[in-house]
Each structure stands twice: as structure tokens, then as C-alpha cells.
Structure 1
Amino acid sequence: MKKVYAKEEVCVGCKLCEVYCITSHSKYKDVLKAYKLDSNRPAPRIVVEENRPLSFSLQCRHCDDAPCVKACITGAMQKDPVTGVVTCDTDKCVGCWTCVLVCGFGAIVRDTNNKIASKCDLCAEAGEPACVKNCPNEALVYEGGI
């Protein structure tokens, strides 16, 4: 399965991955409109961790044995048996945050605007994750494994 991997040696912590993640999941799909017009803007599904001089992005690892899926009380967290992608069905999510607690990577965040869990879905509908496509230093790669 293809996943997003960070190359911390070239990440400068610009957080453009977060910006484009928000944009790709907003109703406008445009950076300016997403930030200026969307009062209910989604949380980024990728988080940049910084401890200068080191910085890197953190996103869902789509674990083979995903603890978030097992812990989800409503079945909102699901793992596609074919692609292996773990997604959150926001219509089923009740914001209990159990998935946030059990994620060993800290890759699931609370979208407090919408009161749901938010995690990387690999921009499945776009074909390539927005964070990878828009990283100016190619600090993010989308491939089968490192």
C-alpha cells in the first residue's frame, strides 16, 4: 500500500502541507476561498511537528492492524479491505475521541469546529495527496515503502 512518508532532512516546517490539506478538504477547493470564506473550515489532517532545527509532518500510517478501527464505538473508523486506507465516516463519528487516544502515532486529531475525528485519507478522491503535491521541498513522498 502506498503511504505518505516525511523526509525530515529537507522539511523546513513551512506548514504548506497543512494549508493544502485544509484546502483540499474544504468545500471551496481554493486556498483563498477556503481561508477567507469557509467559516466551518476543516482541521488539517496532517500536522507539522517542530523542534528546530528538525521538523517533519505527521499523518495517519494506515496501520495494518489499525487500533483506531477496533476502538471506534460507532464504526466510523473503517479500513478498506482492498486498498488498506483507514477512513473516518464523519456521519457516524460522535466525537468521543477514543481513536485519538489509541493512535500510537498521534496522527488523528480533533476537528473541534465540526466535533469529529480528523485523519489523513490520502486524498483518495484526488489520486495524489495534496500535501505531497504541494510540498515545495519534496519533503513528502507518496510511495509503497521506505
Structure 2
Amino acid sequence: MKRIKIDRSKCIGCLTCTTACIVSHDCVDNRSRIALSSKGKYAPIFCRHCDKPECVYTCMTGAMRKNPDTGIVEYDKNQCASCFMCIMACPYGVLKADSENNREIMKCDMCQHTESKNPQCVARCPMHAITLEEV
């Protein structure tokens, strides 16, 4: 299984990763699926696609599920009841409500909709601080 990792010593807080995410997902409200830590300098916090994801366990409808083949925690907006239990359960604070359609959840999907081998935050990081690594 692959996860997005960041080397904070290389990150300069330029937020190119968030812009790449916004462009990749064609977000009209300019909101990224990447959460930001503002301690000292802005730095991205990525969905960890946990082995035992709390967002999946608290989802009463099955809208959040862990793909057994890829290891990615996936979200199906058509099954979502908009209870936001997944947001409250995430220990990393990386899930958020979509401000355009407040009934949907925004989370990292590893840019599965693109033809690229890497998520766009990884591909576009000018400092190569963000990598996709096998864990």
C-alpha cells in the first residue's frame, strides 16, 4: 500500500500542493482536499489512508470504505447521509465538508481520477518534499 509522505525539513510552505489539488479536482470554491497545519509555517497534512480508519468505522451508510486492493480509503457521495461522523472521528483532522455542496465530504482520493502515476500534490511539489512511498 502506498501513502503520501512529507519531509517537513524540505517543505517551504509554498502551498503548491494545495493548488495542484484544487486544479486536479476542478474545485470552483478553491478548497483543497489537503489540510494545513499552521504551527510556525503552513505545512500540508495528508490523509493517511489508515490501516484501521476511524472514518470508515463510524460511517453508518458505507459511504467511507477501505479498498482492500489499493488500501485507499474511498468516499462515495451517493451513499453519504451527511452526518459528518467521519469528520469528527478522524484523528488527523484531514476530512472536511465541501463548502460548495455542504452535504459532501472532501478527502484525499490519491488523484485516482487522473492518468498520472502520482497524486498531483506529489507531482507538483517544487521542493520534492512530498513523496508517494510504499508502507
Fold equivalence (TM over 0.5): yes
Task: State whether structure 2 residue 39 is matched by structure 1 residue 51.
Answer: yes
Q: Alpha carbon RMSD of aligned pairs, Å?
A: 1.6
Q: Tell me what 1:63 maps to.
A: 50
Cα deviation digits, residues 18-67 of structure 1 (max 9, x gap): 111011111xxxxxxx6xxx3xx463111231222x54311110111111
Is residue 17–residue 131 contact of structure 1 (8 Å, CA) maintained in 2? yes
Aligned residues: 132
Q: Which residue of 1 aligns with 2:127?
A: 137
Contact 1:71–1:99, Cα closer than 8 Å, also in 2: yes
Percent identity over the alignment is: 36
Determine the C-alpha separation between the residues in 1 that align with 2:18 and 2:78: 23
Q: Could you state the TM-score of these two structures normalised by the residue count of structure 1? A: 0.83
1:66-145 alignment runs, 5 A limit: 66-115=53-102, 116-126=104-114, 127-145=117-135
Which amino acid is 1:87 matched to? E
- Which runs of no fewer than 5 residues in structure 2 stay unpaired? none
Q: TM-score, normalised by structure 2?
A: 0.89
Distance (whole Å) between structure 2 residues aligned to residue 93 and residue 60 of structure 1: 19
Give 1:4's aligned amino acid.
I
Whether contact under 8 Å (1:122, 1:129) holds in the other structure is yes
Q: What secondary structure does 1:94 align onto?
A: coil
